[in-house]
């Protein structure tokens, strides 16, 4: 039953307070000011004192305005009509299309019972060699992309959205600049990937509370599609903006701050979203890739620091490339043993040689005498960075592995690679004069 109250006790920023009974946390309410209405979300309960975050802001609200509690949490429509559409953090269309009110589902529910999960066992192909070959993305995995401002992380997500071999893409944008939002929209439309994509977008000018709703909206929809047998990839950018929204709301609510002003429940709030990644037996799956920007390139910042304890590895984006050192997919061993017989050995061998290349670069910069081996490593490193590390490279896994062998053959003799002789015999490229 809907409850209506006509007295607002206090207004602080975008948070209003009323005295009410029988109200639940995260419950929706409508605040009526004259002829205008705005949704609000219950964010704090203190006995009968209820604090609500007003989505459109508290400007124009007076203490005599009406607050009507709806008795339900925030909901989103679940239907095939979501495909190709763009919504804001409240589920309201951004694309001038019709509102969807069919088959409404609650957002922000609990994660799947761990006992019902199955061991991840399927690779998600992206066409990006630094992912497919060296840090394979696995179905139902949760991975952050650690980056700094200025890196092309949104471009990387758009590439993955276009190329990933999945049934459905759910893109959640938090605190996006408007041109970043348009970039995603235009890129996906031009590539034809928009037809399998659902977008929930919060821009920097939108209310803060909507930023916190975006991951829950995206993941609620993704989970339902997964239960219907779809392989869903959820792309989130940027989880640091999500954490900053939490921080802003916590300050408004006079919560005691924790590390660097973030609320004490930062870890559990991040974990509640990441743990939505799941592979259902006999159904589909939810895989999560989430950008986490690191202020000042500081991996000890609370957001990336807490994220590292939750997720199954990370991708480091630096200098416009996915760095092989520091990047890790802890579940890759579940799948790269079954892709091709040379995958694991070639991956390990090429990374070892690339590490030696880095040492030769440092040696050269310090003015040491370079050996013939150093010259080979320098040639190898340049080819590796150009043909495999560059994010513009778009080739299937098998072609990327063949290219790896080709690069090795251009720089080294077979016995210099450290790879097993049986693999060399079967995979080493044959030269034209052989």
Residues 25 and 285: their CA atoms lie apart, in Å, by 29
Q: What is the pLDDT of residue 112?
A: 85
Residues 167 and 226: their CA atoms lie apart, in Å, by 10
The answer on pLDDT for 76 being more than 70 is yes
Long-range contact pairs involving 371-378 (C-beta distance under 8 Å, separation at least 24): 376/411, 376/412, 376/416, 377/353, 377/411
Q: What is the pLDDT of residue 432?
A: 44
Is the domain defined by 76-338 classed in CATH 3.40.50.12240? yes
**Which architecture characterizes domain 3-73 according to CATH?**
Beta Barrel (2.40)
Is 29 strand, coil or helix? Answer: strand
The answer on pLDDT for 426 being more than 50 is yes
The answer on pLDDT for 411 being more than 90 is yes
Q: What is the pLDDT of residue 372?
A: 93
The answer on pLDDT for 1 being more than 60 is no
Residue spans per domain, the chain = 3-73, 76-338, 343-427
Q: What is the pLDDT of residue 2?
A: 65
Residues 408 and 429: their CA atoms lie apart, in Å, by 9
| pLDDT level of residue 126 (50, 70, 90 thresholds) | very high
Q: What is the mean pLDDT of the chain?
A: 90
User: How does pLDDT run across 334-352, given as a tens digit for each residue?
Assistant: 898 889 999 999 999 999 9
Considering the entire predicted model, what is its pTM? Answer: 0.91
Q: Are the C-beta atoms of 288 and 277 separated by less than 8 Å?
A: yes
**Averaged pLDDT for residues 374-385:** 94
With a pLDDT cut of 70, the percent of the chain lying above it is 99
Taken as a whole, the chain contains a residue count of: 434
Q: What is the pLDDT of residue 170?
A: 97
| pLDDT level of residue 229 (50, 70, 90 thresholds) | very high
């Amino acid at each position: 039953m809907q409850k209506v109250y006509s007295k607002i006790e206090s207004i602080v920023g975008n948070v209003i307070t009323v005295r009410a009974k029988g109200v639940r946390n995260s419950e929706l309410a409508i605040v009526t000011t004259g002829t205008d209405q705005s949704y609000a979300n219950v964010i704090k309960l203190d006995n009968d004192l209820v604090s609500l975050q007003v989505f459109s802001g508290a400007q124009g609200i007076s203490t005599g305005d009406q607050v009507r509690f709806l008795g339900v949490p925030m909901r989103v429509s679940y239907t095939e009509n979501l495909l190709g559409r763009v919504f804001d953090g409240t589920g309201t269309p951004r694309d001038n299309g019709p509102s969807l009110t069919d088959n409404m589902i609650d957002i922000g529910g609990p994660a799947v019972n761990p006992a019902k999960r199955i061991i991840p066992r399927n690779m998600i192909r992206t066409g990006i060699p630094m992912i497919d070959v060296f840090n394979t993305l696995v179905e139902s995995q949760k991975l952050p992309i650690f980056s700094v401002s200025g890196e092309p992380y949104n471009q990387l997500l758009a590439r993955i959205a276009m190329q990933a071999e999945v049934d459905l893409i759910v893109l959640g944008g938090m605190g996006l600049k408007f041109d970043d939002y348009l970039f995603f929209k235009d890129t996906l439309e031009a590539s034809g990937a928009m037809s399998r994509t659902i977008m929930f977008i919060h821009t920097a000018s939108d209310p803060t509370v909507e930023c916190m709703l975006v991951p829950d909206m995206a993941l609620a929809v993704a989970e339902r599609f997964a239960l219907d047998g779809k392989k869903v990839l959820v792309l989130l950018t940027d989880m640091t903006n999500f954490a900053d929204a939490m921080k802003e709301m916590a300050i408004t609510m006079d919560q005691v701050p924790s590390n660097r002003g973030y609320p004490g429940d930062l870890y559990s709030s991040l974990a509640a979203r990441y743990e939505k990644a799941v592979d259902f037996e006999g159904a589909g799956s939810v895989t999560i890739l989430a950008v986490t920007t690191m202020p000042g390139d500081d991996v000890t910042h609370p957001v990336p620091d807490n994220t590292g304890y939750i997720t199954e590895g990370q991708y480091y984006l630096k200098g416009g490339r996915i760095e092989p050192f520091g990047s890790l997919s802890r579940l890759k061993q579940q799948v790269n043993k079954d892709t091709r017989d040379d995958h694991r050995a070639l991956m390990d061998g090429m990374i070892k040689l690339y590490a030696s290349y880095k040492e030769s670069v440092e040696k050269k910069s310090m003015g040491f005498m370079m050996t013939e081996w150093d010259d080979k490593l320098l040639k190898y490193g340049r080819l590796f960075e150009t043909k495999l590390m560059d994010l513009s490279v778009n080739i299937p896994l098998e072609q990327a592995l063949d290219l790896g062998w080709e690069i090795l053959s251009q720089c080294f003799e077979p016995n210099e690679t450290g790879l097993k002789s049986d693999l060399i015999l079967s995979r080493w490229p044959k030269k034209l004069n052989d």
